[in-house]
Chain A
């Protein structure tokens, strides 16, 4: 048996790698991929806790999260495509039109 705690450590490590990706990468695609990683990390925690408590609530939650994450990725990528149509690069630092 694998201790639930170790699943939690795995989830937190993946989550922090995702946070690092979001904060340190400048490319919108990488940021989006890192966000997907964070959602996955949360899913690992949900699944592990579902096992811990022996009820399905966590797994059902994770299931819905997968659907939501897919929808979110679809819209996010659509926005990236739209930006790409207007410019050649997808770098979030270049979004300078909206600065003070």
Chain B
């Protein structure tokens, strides 16, 4: 072990500088602590300000995120804390989105808890810490960052789910979610251990190098092994090479599969989705909204960062050792099962839970497509010695951009839909059965409209953002020459039609059925209407301004599986200029709900 002489002095300044790069995340984490302190120590009258303090901090983080979002210095990606985390346009977009989603949850969670009589002052603090974890996943550039981020987020969410002490389903949902989640974490950890064994590193860069090396060795090994089998007297060196190479791959492939399984569990893909409807239903509805938006975004970010950007060497995405075939199969199952189960649900919360599963299926298709393209790019780089500027890499970047776009659009609409459900539950019994939504448009036209817009966006109707999200995603997947993937796109379209049925059923109930005699009790306060208005507005606005939005996502995804550095910055350079010339106002900037409403 050789260690550079201690540079504690430069470390102090470097640490502060790195914290500056991570300002949004640092602010959110700090606010988690601050809110805990104000809850415990502030004067009695001060406690009513919890929500405002939280929103102020989130607004601060959002502004900090905007400065990073608009700063071209980060285009090539900046590694902070010695490569532990990375700040790049991708993470900048995720920061903004996650902070916005957290603010949306904070706006509703307090009202909901008060009305349902389990108000507690720690809620905002936990939401901030969970968002901090999710942001850490978005920035992750090391397996430890990924693991710690997922755990920080999950532990806070377990608590949020179980905090509703006056309703049994809450604690039960928490236990179920916790046991399943902890099991998945343990599997994730074993996978990480095997990956570390195979590559000798936990940083993504090191792992990528190790993966490439393991398989280049493997290639030579096949020849050597054949020579050995044919009875040639092998040199000790050759046999050593065989052993080393085989062992590396024997650790790598199970490691990749274990990590994949755990992450698919976290995003609730189908064989591992059993916990989702129960946990979503049992959790307090604003927390459900948080799980369906923030936690999902973090899970997809983890898949993109680790699988699309790191495990996309040619060998790892193609048969017989590729993970993409398995994920394509999972995507097929996920959208089918999610949609079919959603059709059967009369409970709105469960319906939305299953529909969120179906959306994960579509997203996974995009993940597979992106990884396939990058795998091809990797192969052509290796054989042609190219500089990575192949068509495949462009296509892969576009696929990543459309996945990013889709998850953002989905998360926004999903937040709006779940918040509407939370809003329509001013009484002990939440209006969870579809018939209770009958005629809502007559009593509350504004909220019904907001819910309708969100549902239509989830469904993918043309003027809404969801349509373009699906369009770009499916187009990116269809670019693959693999006929199976093309078939899956057709299958996904059929699924979207099934999805339209259950979304529209709810819309029809709201608009065309006679309202029940007793008026529904709704949450007091302007929080929920504000969130629904903003999410519905965004669902329309992102659809109308889709081209600039996609261009911006493209900028974030450009050279996504490139290591950060000057060559990546060069690659991104022209794009930023083109993008800024095209549209001076960043469209996603409308995300922030105004604090203090």
A–B touching in complex (CB under 8 Å): yes
Residues of A within 8 A of B (CB): 8, 11, 15, 18, 22, 28, 31-32, 35, 38-39, 41-43, 45-46, 48-50, 52-58, 60-61, 64-65, 68, 71-72, 75-76, 78-80, 82-83, 86-87, 92, 95, 97-98, 100
Count of chain A to chain B residue pairs whose CB atoms are closer than 8 Å in the complex:
130
Q: Are B175 and A38 in contact (CB under 8 A)?
A: no
Q: Are A35 and B183 in contact (CB under 8 A)?
A: yes
Q: Given A68-B147, A75-B159, A98–B173 Cβ distance below 8 Å?
A: yes
Residue of B nearest to A22 (CB): B183
Q: Are B168 and A97 in contact (CB under 8 A)?
A: yes
Q: Given A18-B186, A72-B155, A98–B143 Cβ distance below 8 Å?
A: no
Q: Are A58 and B190 in contact (CB under 8 A)?
A: no
Main secondary structure on A side of the interface with B: helix
State A33–B190 Cα separation when bound (angstroms). 16
Q: Write out the residue numbers on chain B whose beta carbons fall within 8 Å of the beta carbon of A55.
A: 1, 200
Q: Write out the residue numbers on chain B whose beta carbons fall within 8 Å of the beta carbon of A78.
A: 159, 162
Q: Write out the residue numbers on chain A whose beta carbons fall within 8 Å of the beta carbon of B189.
A: 38-39, 42, 65
Q: Write out the residue numbers on chain A whose beta carbons fall within 8 Å of the beta carbon of B277.
A: 98, 100
State A8–B148 Cα separation when bound (angstroms). 24
Check: B33 CB closer than 8 A to any chain A CB.
no
With both chains docked as a complex, state the minimum distance between the C-beta of B345 and any C-beta of chain A, in angstroms.
8
B residues 154-179 with Cβ under 8 Å of A?
A: 155, 158-159, 162, 165, 168-169, 171-176, 178-179
Check: B311 CB closer than 8 A to any chain A CB.
no
State A91–B165 Cα separation when bound (angstroms). 19
Residue of B nearest to A98 (CB): B278
State A58–B194 Cα separation when bound (angstroms). 11
State A95–B274 Cα separation when bound (angstroms). 14
Q: Mark interface residues in B134-161 (1 if CB within 8 Å of A CB, else 0).
A: 0000000001100110010001001100
State A75–B155 Cα separation when bound (angstroms). 7
State A53–B193 Cα separation when bound (angstroms). 12
Residue of A nearest to B179 (CB): A31
Q: Mark interface residues in B1-29 (1 if CB within 8 Å of A CB, else 0).
A: 10000000000000000000000000000
Q: Write out the residue numbers on chain A whose beta carbons fall within 8 Å of the beta carbon of B148.
A: 64, 68
Check: B245 CB closer than 8 A to any chain A CB.
no
Residue of A nearest to B282 (CB): A98
Residue of A nearest to B201 (CB): A57
Q: Given A35-B182, A64-B148, A68-B151, A97–B175 Cβ distance below 8 Å?
A: no
